[in-house]
């Protein structure tokens, strides 16, 4: 058995590494240091897989429960710091911390995303809930979307809650933060994407009998959790699509609606129907 190469040591609540990691709860600090927090085993695993984790904090329980991840981190040269439960609670924003948390490098921006012939892109307009943004990132990654666009007012994709909700997919799928949804829609149309907005009163039904060609390269647009899409965005869409409600619920949250639309598109693009 090889000896792990990553340093491992105990750290108190006042240790400089702990203080520095705690400050990453602020977006300004994350951007200034180009670092973020990966909280929980799934986020840590994805961060290790993409070689972004450079420091790991574990409690005694977390180190025992996630021993494989701790060894992987050490084998990769990541510094492991053992902390008590109280110190860990100051690092984690989770209501139920799992005892393992990493400090990770922010992904570098990917240039010219619109010019890479995307087939499926998702745009969130003012999606303020980090759980929803994280869910969309996770599903977009799983469904094979090319990238995710976040409009002004959306939750920080590299905040701890969002990364946790994404199960680490925030480290994998490219994220493009824009200052203008209007310009993003124009860029999408310029490269041939069909712009489809999700709206409860949309003229087209997902899974409906009408002709909704999901094999086409598509930009899906989803609005604010409470207010939906802005009128200007609705007007700019090529098609407005509603997710049908077959039961008693009036609507779905953004994360679920986006997941249904993405997977319907992914299936249509990968398994196009053939005439018999």
pLDDT digits (tens, 9 = 90+) for 143-158: 999 999 999 999 999 9
Total domains in the chain come to 2
Q: Residue 128: which pLDDT band, with cuts at 50, 70 and 90?
A: very high
Kindly state whether residues 157 and 123 are assigned to the same domain: yes
Averaged pLDDT, 44-57: 97
Dist. CA 108–CA 106, nearest whole Å? 6
pTM comes to 0.92
Residue 2 lies in a domain: no
d(CA 262, CA 144): 9
Q: Given its phi and psi angles, is residue 197 left (phi above 0), alpha (psi -120 to 50 degrees) or beta?
A: beta
Tell me the mean pLDDT in the region 199-226: 89
Neighbours of 37 (CB within 10 A): 26
Asked whether residue 184 carries a pLDDT value surpassing 80, the answer given is yes
The backbone region for 150, taken as left when phi is positive above 0, alpha when psi lies in -120 to 50, beta otherwise, is beta
**pLDDT of the residue at 276:** 42
Q: Domain of 55?
A: 8-105
Say yes or no to pLDDT of 63 above 80: yes
Pair 206, 242: CB distance under 8 Å: yes
Tokens of 181: 């949804």
Where is 135: in which H helix or E strand? helix 130-143
Sheet of 100-105, strands arranged across = 8-10, 79-82, 53-58, 100-105, 35-39
Question: Which residue, of 62, 85, 105, is where some domain finishes?
Answer: 105
Q: What is the mean pLDDT of the chain?
A: 94
Boundary of a domain, candidates 82, 105, 128: 105
- What's the CATH code of the domain at 25? 3.30.1330.30
Tens digits of residue pLDDT in 222-275: 998 788 899 999 999 999 999 999 999 888 889 999 999 999 999 999 997 754
Looking at residue 193, what is its pLDDT?
A: 98
Query: Please, what's the b/e burial string for 114-152 (b: 16 or more CB within 10 A of its CB; e: otherwise)?
Result: beeebbbbbbbbbbebbbbbbbbbbbbbbbebbbbbbbe
Give domain status of residue 3, yes or no. Answer: no
- Mean pLDDT over 208-223 rounds to 90
What average pLDDT does this structure show over 134-147? 97
Average pLDDT over residues 123-136: 95
- Spatial contact of 40 and 98, defined as CB atoms under 8 Å apart: yes
| Residue 177, domain CATH | 3.40.1280.10
The answer as to whether 276 is a domain residue is no
Residue 137 · residue 175 · CB < 8 Å:
yes
Cα 264 to chain center, whole Å? 19
């Amino acid at each position: 058995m090889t000896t792990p190469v990553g340093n491992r040591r105990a750290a108190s609540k006042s240790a400089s590494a702990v203080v520095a990691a705690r400050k990453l709860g602020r977006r300004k600090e994350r951007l200034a240091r180009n670092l973020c927090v990966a909280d929980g085993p799934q986020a840590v695993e994805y961060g290790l897989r993409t070689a972004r984790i450079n420091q790991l904090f574990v409690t005694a329980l977390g180190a025992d429960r996630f021993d494989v991840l701790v060894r992987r981190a050490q084998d990769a040269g990541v510094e492991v710091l053992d902390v008590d439960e109280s110190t860990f609670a100051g690092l984690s924003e989770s209501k139920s911390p799992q005892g393992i948390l990493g400090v990770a490098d922010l992904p570098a921006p990917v240039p010219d995303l619109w010019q890479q012939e995307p087939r499926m892109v998702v745009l969130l307009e003012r999606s303020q809930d980090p759980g929803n943004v994280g869910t969309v990132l996770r599903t977009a990654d799983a469904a094979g979307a090319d990238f995710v666009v976040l409009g002004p007012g959306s939750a920080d994709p590299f905040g701890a809650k969002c990364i946790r909700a994404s199960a680490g997919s925030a480290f994998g799928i490219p994220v493009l933060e824009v200052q203008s949804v209007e310009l993003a829609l124009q860029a999408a149309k310029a490269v041939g994407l069909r712009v489809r907005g999700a709206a409860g009163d949309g003229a087209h039904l997902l899974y409906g009998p009408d002709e909704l060609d999901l094999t086409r390269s598509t930009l899906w647009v989803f609005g604010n959790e409470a207010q939906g899409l802005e009128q200007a965005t609705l007007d700019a869409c090529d098609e407005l699509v509603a997710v049908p409600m077959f039961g008693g619920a009036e609507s779905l949250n953004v994360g679920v609606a986006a997941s249904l639309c993405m997977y319907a598109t992914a299936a249509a693009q990968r398994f196009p129907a053939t005439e018999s």
